Amino acid sequence: MCSISPENKEIIKDHGAFPKLIKLLSHNSTSVVEKCLGTLRNCSTLLESANEIRDYGCIPILIQLLSNRRSSLTKENSAGTLMNLARNDENKILIREAGGIKALISLLNDKNHVVQEIAAGALMVLTVNPLADNRIRVREDKGLILLSYLLSSEDDYVLENTMGTIKNCALNEKCCLILGSELKIIPRLVQLLSSKNDIIVKESANCLRNLAINPENCVTIGQDKGVEQLLHLVNSTKNEQVRKASVYAIQMLAKDQNNIKIIENIKRSALQRSNESSGSVNQSLNK
């Protein structure tokens, strides 16, 4: 717990604790391993410490500790440490080359929701930078399938990180096609636009925006009432981030002629309702 404060993180680093903590990761006691991982995870939020932990050869060890034979806390803290290390683009590549993406994907099927959440979060960070080809590796290691399954999760944190990863992967042409045409995640994403959680709504809109890069997906989103839902959010939400995400998604969807017709029809209907409402008011005043 002492490694939570910024001051203590610096003290731990300055006293050369990282090599000793990493060495203890091979200890026979699960409790010892869990505590060492917790300290490394907390300290790795500092960039300098994260690079030092990497330089001591910790990445392959962390990936090994993601094994299903390990305790839930061991897997959670290992994935959490990798997520922190992955904020460095060089580490993104190292984690991929050491088999980290495949190991994290396997945790998406874990029975523990927190493990799923952190694994999806690590994949989200790993897929931010397209230069590392990590999005392609997620697809090749069958990660898109498990991510599509997690869209049915009842855990909001799992959903947020899952959609964050899908949003990133959808920027890859093949991933985009698979997610929309084969895995058919679009109806679920449209459904999630009605969530009470603004973060989920925003991420759903972002996913739809990126999926709409593919013309076939763009048509499907319109057919599944995605345009109507997004326009409703633009006019009704009080959250500015949700509104912006919805606007950007609509702009992408408006590249399809059928979607343009949907938008025009909605505007026409809204104008007609407005005129009818004004007429009713005028009639009441005249009485």
pLDDT at 275: 59
What local confidence, expressed as pLDDT, does residue 61 receive?
Answer: 97
> What local confidence, expressed as pLDDT, does residue 226 receive?
96
3-class DSSP string for the chain: CHHHCHHHHHHHHHCCCHHHHHHHHHCCCHHHHHHHHHHHHHHCCCHHHHHHHHHCCHHHHHHHCCCCCCCHHHHHHHHHHHHHHCCCHHHHHHHHHCCHHHHHHHHCCCCCHHHHHHHHHHHHHHCCCHHHCHHHHHHHCCHHHHHHHHCCCCCHHHHHHHHHHHHHHCCCHHHHHHHHHHCCCHHHHHHHCCCCCHHHHHHHHHHHHHHCCCHHHHHHHHHCCHHHHHHHHHHHCCCHHHHHHHHHHHHHHCCCHHHHHHHHHHHHHHHHHHHHHHHHHHHHHHC
pLDDT score recorded for residue 66: 95
- Residue 10 is predicted with a pLDDT of 84
Could you read off the pLDDT tens digit of each residue along the chain, which spans 287 residues? 455 667 788 888 888 899 999 999 999 999 999 999 999 999 999 999 999 999 999 999 999 999 878 999 999 999 999 999 999 999 999 999 999 999 999 999 999 999 999 999 999 999 997 766 999 999 999 999 999 999 999 999 999 999 999 999 999 999 999 999 999 999 999 999 999 999 999 999 999 999 999 999 999 999 999 999 999 999 999 999 999 999 999 999 999 999 999 999 888 877 766 555 554 444 543 55
